[in-house]
Amino acid sequence: MSDGGTARPVRPRPRLRTLGITAGLLAFTVFAANEVGFDASTSWEVWTNPLWEMFWPIPWDWVLDRSNVLDPLVETFQIAILATIIGCGLALPISFAMSRLTAPNRPTYLVSRSVMNVVRAVPDLFWAKLLVTAVGIGAFAGTWALSIFSLAVMVKLFSETIDNADPRPLEAARASGSRHLPAIRTGVLPTVLPEYVAYALYVFELNIRASIVLGLVGAGGVGRVLEAQRQFFRFDRVLGILLIVFVAVFVIEQVSVALRKRLV
Amino acid sequence: MIRFDDVSVTYRGGVQALRGLDLTIEDGEFVVIVGLSGAGKSTLLRALNGLVPATGGSITVDGAEVVGASAAELRALRSQIGMIFQTFNLVNRTSVLNNVLMGRLGTVPAWRSTLGLWPADDRERAMQALERVGIVEKAYVRASNLSGGQQQRVGIARALVQEPSVMLADEPVASLDPVTSRQVMGDLRRINRDLGITTIVNLHYLDLAREFGNRLVGLRDGELVFDGDIADVDDDTFMEIYGRAISDDDLVGTEDDLT
């Protein structure tokens, strides 16, 4: 260039820190494997276990019988849809209370934030067990457990989106003498609504999978059937159920991902 | 009438943006405020409608005290004061009409605006405001699809729909090209003359200040260093306000300068 004295920079050397971190990770892996008694010879025992032969052949008559798998699968989806609507519906106002940009005052901000942190700290499986104990085995407990899970995930994602929203329309609303709620509704909500819908779809995807896991602890749906067949050592049926679930989850995810891409 | 009486603003970080400012503006005046960035122009406007709280002195608008006003008093005051911003501050993902309706937030009941149930009367006013700035045909277009000049007109319409007695414009043309800048400044002056709205405009460009202002106020380091008729202003006055010689960057210029 024409200005004198602008020398090309020297290419930076690969950093010692990167090498150090890699070496540290390797050392920790070996240490952890030793501690838990993992050694390569045991993996042979796992994969040659006669258990694996019990997965074949798949009893398609039983698997495709509506009342065995498909009806519980529909129940799983019903749980997931209901939980998504309840959880994400509750998350909308709570997220605005949890965001620095839109919280009406500092106490609301702090209280909503800490309550949601506590809710998130309790694992979803534990919520499910708790609710099964409280309201009995079945889809009702599963729906509530999953609603709480959806709420916890949603407020985390959405309140961060609100934090990063453009504050300038909000200033314009305040400058025209607006109260707090209408200012948020008109100045912030339209800018974050597409993200809200996209996150709700994402939470729905998580819920489909999570509702199957929750079924394992008695919270209804296809997970309960899966657990029952496992307990009877009917692994051929288990494989059939897993295949059906895989196809259903795959289709739903593809649709949801396509929808989300169009939104944001 | 607007009165600043020994007003100071100190930000939380300790920066003194205004120091002992005295200023009186009569109804219907068109005042241009100039000064370098950081001189306190923006703070002056925001102290007037309480967006930035003054830390000392007294500010009154038609007799109502701004400093130390309650939240309800501030809302009532702000609904009487329109504001226009350098970056337009529109909601990009919604229609022009919805943006203009935001100017009615200070008067429409909160539940109505929250649910989006704007009274027909307010929609009509919003349409009239868009007609006044000449872009009513864009009412149902998304704000993000407009050009910069059109967006600022939406900003003006949003302030107009408040039916304000005072209009504050914070660097309204800093994001616009010279031709559009003159159009927008012309809109502001026309509104000032036709509707008698007291107008205070922060400007960086000195040639625009000369072309459009009646009264000029100069700020430097948070202090008022000039207040007088624009006709009495020459380059020496600007040098005094800016504390340095005038350069091309201080002029918006004309379209010819670009070719």
Interacting residues of B82 by C-beta distance below 8 A, sequence separation 6+? A176, B103, B158, B159, B160, B162, B164, B166, B167, B168, B197
Q: Test A181 with B110 for CB contact under 8 angstroms.
A: yes
Instruction: Choose from B88, B102, B160 for mutation: most chain A CBs within 10 A.
Output: B102
Is the model's pLDDT at B7 over the cut of 70? yes
Is the model's pLDDT at A184 over the cut of 90? yes
Q: Test A169 with B91 for CB contact under 8 angstroms.
A: yes
Among chain A residues, the shortest Cα distance to B108 is held by A178
Mean pLDDT of A48-54: 76
Q: Test B91 with A183 for CB contact under 8 angstroms.
A: no
Interacting residues of B88 by C-beta distance below 8 A, sequence separation 6+? B148, B151, B152, B154, B155, B175
Q: E strand or H helix at B225, and its extent?
A: strand B223-229
Residue B11 has a pLDDT of 92
Mean pLDDT of B119-127: 96
Share of chain A above pLDDT 90, in %: 39
Closest CB to B91 among A179, A190, A194: A190
Among chain A residues, the shortest Cα distance to B76 is held by A177
Nearest-CA neighbor of B226 among B236, B211, B213, B216?
Answer: B216
Instruction: Choose from A178, A185, A189 for mutation: most chain B CBs within 10 A.
Output: A178
Q: Test B92 with A191 for CB contact under 8 angstroms.
A: yes
Confidence class for position B255, pLDDT limits 50, 70, 90: low
Residue A163 has a pLDDT of 95
Mean pLDDT of B231-237: 82
Which has the minimum average pLDDT: A25-29, A103-107, A197-201, B230-234? B230-234
Residue B256 has a pLDDT of 59
Nearest-CA neighbor of B227 among B58, B22, B49?
Answer: B22
Confidence class for position A215, pLDDT limits 50, 70, 90: confident
Is A21's Cβ below 8 Å from some Cβ in B?
Answer: no
Residue written as token pair 């559009």: B180
Backbone angles phi, psi at A251, to 5 degrees: -60, -45
Residue B119 or A41, more confident:
B119
For A55-69, how does the pLDDT look when each residue is reduced to its tens digit (9 = 90+)? 778 888 887 888 888
Which has the minimum average pLDDT: A20-24, A48-52, A110-114, B41-45? A48-52
Among chain B residues, the shortest Cα distance to A182 is held by B114
Backbone angles phi, psi at B7, to 5 degrees: -85, 130
Cα torsion B34, B38, B40, B46: sign: positive
Confidence class for position A1, pLDDT limits 50, 70, 90: very low
Domain A57-263 has CATH 1.10.3720.10: yes
Instruction: Choose from A105, A180, A186, A195 for mutation: most chain B CBs within 10 A.
Output: A186
Residue B38 has a pLDDT of 86
> From the CA of B229, how many Å to the nearest CA of chain A?
29
Is the model's pLDDT at A41 over the cut of 80? no
For B165-178, how does the pLDDT look when each residue is reduced to its tens digit (9 = 90+)? 999 999 999 889 98
For B61-97, how does the pLDDT look when each residue is reduced to its tens digit (9 = 90+)? 999 999 999 999 999 999 999 999 999 999 999 999 9
| Cβ atoms of A182 and B110 closer than 8 Å | yes
Closest CB to B113 among A169, A172, A186: A186
Q: What's the complex ipTM?
A: 0.91
